[in-house]
Amino acid sequence: MSMQQLLKNLRAQYISELHVKIREMEELLEKNASCEVFYDHFHKLKGSGLTYGCSEVSDVSASV
């Protein structure tokens, strides 16, 4: 498998599992989690979005 195909597969997996991260954040919202907790989650999404080639995720995360 080429490196390009490997990266494409990793990106697809990241996108397919993104709903789990969103659900985790919804649960935190329901529990009235602190701003620091949300900051940590958005910070991780910002970095992971760039890592997996999903600049849209990073852009949205950075704007929050």
Tens of pLDDT along the chain (64 residues) come to 899 999 999 999 999 999 999 999 999 999 999 999 989 999 999 999 999 999 999 999 988 7
Q: Structure tokens of 27?
A: 């649960």
Q: From CA 17, how far away is CA 54, in angstroms rounded?
A: 13
HSE value, Cβ hemisphere, 13 Å, CA-based, for 17 = 10
Q: What is the pTM of this model?
A: 0.80
Q: Structure tokens of 2?
A: 């080429």
N residues, the chain: 64
